[in-house]
Chain A
Amino acid sequence: MRLFELSPPGRKVITGTLVFTAEDIVRYAKKYDPQPFHVDAEAAKNYVFGGLCASGWHTCAGWMKTYIAYWQKEVARLESEGLVAPKLGPSAGFKKLQWLKPVYAGDSVTYSVELVETRPLMSRPGTFINMTVCDGVNQNGDTVMRYEGTVLEFA
């Protein structure tokens, strides 16, 4: 089955919620983005964000984490019903990624994905490119991140 049959364009699918503890924020940032406002709660007060907050890339990786967990469950569910899950491949990138609000220590972010459109890839017969809108919303209902993603699909 194709992705658009499982998840028609315009239907928002909640993939999961991730809590951003201070520990996780600092652990990620020390490896990949050790700017003061991502690793030091005290120093963070002197910057625009005003407090310890997650690297934007950590917020994005969190989207992927909940998406894969959701997708693995979904594939298992379809198989148990005797259906063939869509065969999704890698992504070639994204655009219009907005970090709309800082994700502060203790925030929980609920992620979602929505299929926007699907079309055949001319350069690779039998392969489709799916355009998605992905976002993350914090515990106050504020959207903290949003981007337009792509994912390949094999027929």
Chain B
Amino acid sequence: MLHFEDFTPGSSYSLAEKHVTAEEIVEFASEFDPQPMHLSEEAGKASILGGLSASGWHTASMFMRMMYDGWLSNSSSEGSPGIEFMEWKKPVLAGDTLSGRSTVIESRPLRSRPGIGMVKFLHEVENQRGEIVMRGKNPIMMRFRDGQENAA
């Protein structure tokens, strides 16, 4: 299992691949973001997104699952306090296949929580054409391997 100590700056972890179906785009949008371009191919084509496209929050949610399946489930994650930025750079369309990676930018032990450190990642999600569709930067809390506070 990956712990705080393993996340050295520059190390990179693959996100699981994800095929995006029209059905799940519509399902997510129906519950959380029922705008026409997320609900039908026709309305999507008529919008500047160019087709039935995932809600940005759906893309973020799919990214979360890709990260979980790719590497987070094999880590000592304690959750995250937030996201510094997230860019939805291109539409995610029905039929797309997404992949990507999380790269460690920096890490530091948390003074306020012994045995836990904060690891900052840059996340990139791309489609089957290699175009970046989403980027984001965020810190994730990780437990130390030995459960002890790092003296440094």
Q: A34-B68, A65-B31, A68-B34 are in contact. Are A57 and B82 (CB under 8 A)?
A: no
Residues of A near B28 (CB, < 8 A) are 61
Residue with the greatest number of chain A CB neighbours at <10 A, chosen from B55, B64, B85 = B64
Q: Tell me, in angstroms, the Cα distance from A51 to B96 when the chains sit together.
A: 36
Which one, B6-14, B72-80, B98-106, B122-130, is touching chain A? B72-80
A46: shortest Cβ distance to chain B, in Å? 10
Q: Which residue of chain B lies nearest to A30 when distances are taken between CB atoms in the complex?
A: B65
- Mask, B57-69, CB within 8 Å of A = 1, is 1101110110010
Residues of B near A91 (CB, < 8 A) are 56, 88
- Mask, A47-64, CB within 8 Å of B = 1, is 111000001110011101
Which residues of B, 16-45, contact A by the 8 Å Cβ criterion?
28, 31-35, 37
Q: Tell me, in angstroms, the Cα distance from A65 to B35 when the chains sit together.
A: 10
User: A37 contacts the other chain (Cβ, under 8 Å)?
Assistant: yes
Residues of A near B49 (CB, < 8 A) are 90
Residue in B33, B65, B87 whose beta carbon sits within 8 Å of that of A68 in the complex:
B33
Q: Tell me, in angstroms, the Cα distance from A47 to B35 when the chains sit together.
A: 37
Q: A35-B72, A61-B33, A90-B37 are in contact. Are A98 and B56 (CB under 8 A)?
A: no
User: B113 contacts the other chain (Cβ, under 8 Å)?
Assistant: yes
Q: Is the interface of B mostly helix, strand, loop or mixed?
A: mixed
Q: Are B80 and A56 in contact (CB under 8 A)?
A: yes
User: B141 contacts the other chain (Cβ, under 8 Å)?
Assistant: yes
Residue in B34, B61, B81 whose beta carbon sits within 8 Å of that of A33 in the complex:
B61
Q: Tell me, in angstroms, the Cα distance from A91 to B35 when the chains sit together.
A: 12
Residues of A near B47 (CB, < 8 A) are 89-90
Q: Are A48 and B78 in contact (CB under 8 A)?
A: yes
- Mask, A24-36, CB within 8 Å of B = 1, is 0000000111110
Q: Which residue of chain B lies nearest to A33 when distances are taken between CB atoms in the complex?
A: B64
Q: Tell me, in angstroms, the Cα distance from A62 to B32 when the chains sit together.
A: 7
Q: Are B65 and A94 in contact (CB under 8 A)?
A: no
B23: shortest Cβ distance to chain A, in Å? 13
B25: shortest Cβ distance to chain A, in Å? 13
Q: Are A48 and B141 in contact (CB under 8 A)?
A: yes
Residue in A33, A37, A64 whose beta carbon sits within 8 Å of that of B65 in the complex:
A33
Further pairs besides A33-B68, A34-B73, A90-B56: 9, Cβ < 8 Å = A33-B65, A56-B80, A64-B32, A89-B47, A90-B48, A92-B87, A93-B87, A96-B82, A147-B83
12 contacts between A and B (CB under 8 A): A33-B65, A34-B73, A56-B80, A56-B82, A57-B60, A64-B57, A65-B32, A68-B32, A68-B34, A89-B48, A90-B48, A99-B81
Chain B residues engaging chain A, CB cutoff 8 angstroms: 28, 31-35, 37, 47-49, 55-58, 60-62, 64-65, 68, 72-73, 77-89, 113, 116, 141
